[in-house]
Chain A
């Protein structure tokens, strides 16, 4: 079974609706380390060595965050800046993360339809997530398509619970070693056949 590290960052988690439900579902799951960055580093003073050790101990890294201004909250960016060190994560001898898998789990206010060239957000989620994808590539990690809960401004609670179930199943699938070919052609990992139950979202 693969170990999963969920790097969660949300500057106002106590007010969040969607993330509260998602996190609640998976935070105590076996084989999953839930790491709440804003709770651990309220002063942005990230303990780099501790974070590196944590990364090394896991096979799959999930960047779980709300999609603020088409990116992650600032502490997560800080985390990426300081933890993915030159000579450790990338560059000469920077092989610590080789062949780990990584993906983003995001929540967006706008719905999926708005993220396209005709929509008000002009670009797709995949395009907005290019920096994460390339960061993963540079560190030798396999980047998987994102798990996205979209349109959270209007979503019903029941539907959020369905998403949480799906998130939970996704972690199961990841723990059982998902192959790269399984996700080929999907923009969202939500859509892979393994996560489709009879009552489709």
Chain B
């Protein structure tokens, strides 16, 4: 039934859509949904996907690469540097302890020393894809647990390079090592170790330098063309390019992508890259999880259910134990420790690479590899389930929930403001906010301006704010206030509508070019409307009247009064005053009618006498006619 690419695509997509939406409805993580979809469409249940699952797995690993790139984007270099101790400390402890314990475990299961060591290496690695996807889905990346998990996973990404390097040393030298074909050949394999290390360092430097002096200028050029798909192409090019370079020198592409992300995290394209790559990443990761599910070999399980079950249980318990101890050593709180313990207690996707490489080197036999692959896939499947048990049954009993503390004494930091449009209007808004220490997240679609403003030290991002995904990466979900200061009222309308529908908690404050735009906003039930011409024109008019001899303070009071009166009439006329999108002549005529109505109203109102308490006329009149 297989064969056609279209058919396979349909199977995968349908599987994903059905299983993930069921999983989500049941309140489970999407990872579990994907994995189950994979099992379902795999060779042992419905049989839609045969053995090509492995190839798909390799292809889909690219999702992991993209994920690390995106995570890199969120970590600024200086923060990364701060994490170095946690990465080496926690990661080192976890990998060393897990390897040691699982080595003895596998000896206990009757494997010989070399095999046990290889399997121990595989066991030490956790699944970046599953763990981080789950963490991000729950929005926990910035918690202690999230940071710890991330540190450990990153360390594993680094250490796996050395593991792959060490495997050939374990190989039985009597047999030719390349019997199964070596797909991990890279440029540097035959170089001495010192040169290899040098090449690795050079490639890291290349990424850092290229990020600053090649990629960012390229993105600026691309942005200037205004063709959106070019930016998508550029984003993909960056990730592919880095991965290629990394594979060339034998480094993990994921690690390289992460570095690339960190380098670009300071650039104005951060949000744009995030929102562009996010859908690709999600789909590829989904595909990856499905491929893992499809690769579970149920025949192996059926043949030796006890061994598989035994190893599976032992591995999870052992990994969990080490993680719990690691968490204790680094003084995590109990609930954070438990999340870490159950979050990373699986064998990860690197095990697939490591095991098949060991198989090529004749370290492992076919049945040993199959067994271990099954265990790996099963641990990955069980993690989301265990995590759910932890969250639903264990954590509620143990109580403490990490509350994110906000410095409430500092007004400027307590509220998140997003300012869209940094032209003449928006820039004044932004400048005044900034003088009060309020750093709004600024979005603007003019890349020249973005570039210039960044030089001036503003935090400005480039992008089309009407796109929900960009807004999301700018943090609209946590924002308190959205300021729409763009020039084009239609764009503001579109943005305001999107945000009003999807994020009703955000207070929307809009710039209104004129009265008619204000009517439309009012009818959209947006209350905070700022007409750009109202106060300025009254100021001018007051100035004129003052030159003609009116007293300035009286004019000031009259202008205040006039604003109040005009706002009232604006709200009153909003319904009938709508101009609509009809043709220009009709529109112009309708505007004239409106104008006329206003003037008529003003005329009826005349010069309003108020503030009579400051003159004695009223009292004089009253004294003269005591009867009234």
Contacts and interface: CB of A to CB of B under 8 A. Distances in A.
Interface of A: 43, 45, 81-82, 84-87, 91-92
Contacts of A85: 613
A81 B618 CA distance: 14
B619 interface: yes
Contacts of B564: 45
Contacts of A82: 611, 613
A86 B614 contact: no
Looking at A81, A85, A91, A92, which has the most chain B CB atoms within 10 Å of its CB? A92
B560 A45 contact: yes
B613 A43 contact: no
Nearest to A81: B613
Nearest to B626: A92
B560 A43 contact: yes
Given A45-B560, A45-B564, A87 B613 contact: no
15 contacts: A45-B560, A45-B561, A81-B613, A81-B614, A82-B611, A84-B613, A86-B612, A86-B613, A86-B618, A86-B619, A87-B622, A91-B622, A92-B622, A92-B626, A92-B628
Contacts of A91: 619, 622
A19 B390 CA distance: 50
The secondary-structure label for the interface of chain B is helix
Contacts of A87: 618, 622
Nearest to A85: B613
A26 B564 CA distance: 32
B284 to A, nearest CB: 52
B608 to A, nearest CB: 13
A86 B611 CA distance: 11
Interface string B600-628: 00000000000111100011001000101
Given A86-B612, A86-B613, A87-B622, 5 more contacts: A45-B557, A81-B614, A84-B613, A86-B619, A91-B622
Contacts of A84: 613
Nearest to B625: A92
For the complex of A and B, the 9 pairs showing the least CB-CB separation, nearest first, are A45-B560, A81-B613, A86-B618, A82-B613, A86-B619, A92-B622, A91-B622, A43-B560, A85-B613
A37 to B, nearest CB: 16
B438 to A, nearest CB: 15
Interface in B519-561: 557, 560-561
Nearest to B618: A86
Nearest to B559: A45
Contacts of B612: 86
A43 B612 CA distance: 19
A82 B557 CA distance: 12
A164 to B, nearest CB: 20
A161 B619 CA distance: 46
A82 B615 CA distance: 11
Contacts of A92: 622, 626, 628
Contacts of B628: 92
A92 B622 CA distance: 8
Interface in B579-617: 611-614
Nearest to B628: A92
Given A81-B613, A81-B614, A86 B560 contact: no
B476 to A, nearest CB: 29
Contacts of B622: 86-87, 91-92
A84 B564 CA distance: 21
B432 to A, nearest CB: 15
B551 to A, nearest CB: 16
Nearest to A92: B622
A109 B324 CA distance: 60
- Most-contacted residue by chain B among A43, A84, A86 (CB, 10 A): A86
A81 B616 CA distance: 12
Nearest to A83: B613
A84 B613 CA distance: 9
A37 B301 CA distance: 77
A87 B613 CA distance: 11
B566 to A, nearest CB: 14
A82 B614 CA distance: 8
Contacts of B561: 45
B76 to A, nearest CB: 33
Nearest to A43: B560
Interface string B170-195: 00000000000000000000000000
Nearest to B557: A45
A169 to B, nearest CB: 29
A82 B610 CA distance: 10
A17 to B, nearest CB: 15
Interface string B325-344: 00000000000000000000
A78 to B, nearest CB: 10
Contacts of B619: 86, 91
Contacts of B557: 45
B624 to A, nearest CB: 12
Contacts of B618: 86-87
B613 to A, nearest CB: 5
Contacts of A43: 560
A100 B460 CA distance: 57
A107 B618 CA distance: 36
A10 to B, nearest CB: 18
A191 B584 CA distance: 75
A83 to B, nearest CB: 9
Contacts of A86: 612-613, 618-619, 622
B412 to A, nearest CB: 13
Nearest to A80: B613
Nearest to A44: B560
A91 B622 CA distance: 9
Interface string B356-388: 000000000000000000000000000000000
A77 to B, nearest CB: 12
A34 to B, nearest CB: 20
Contacts of B560: 43, 45
Contacts of B613: 81-82, 84-86
Contacts of B611: 82
A112 to B, nearest CB: 34
Interface string B412-446: 00000000000000000000000000000000000
A81 B614 CA distance: 8
B114 to A, nearest CB: 72
A55 to B, nearest CB: 15
A184 B339 CA distance: 70
Contacts of A45: 557, 560-561, 564
Interface string B224-258: 00000000000000000000000000000000000
Nearest to A45: B560
A81 B626 CA distance: 23
A85 B615 CA distance: 12
Nearest to A91: B622
B560 to A, nearest CB: 4
A132 B28 CA distance: 68
B625 to A, nearest CB: 10
A43 B622 CA distance: 31
B116 to A, nearest CB: 68
A85 B412 CA distance: 41
A2 B564 CA distance: 34
A87 B628 CA distance: 11
A45 B626 CA distance: 32
**A43, A45, A81, A91, most chain B CB atoms within 10 A:** A45
Nearest to B611: A82
Contacts of A81: 613-614
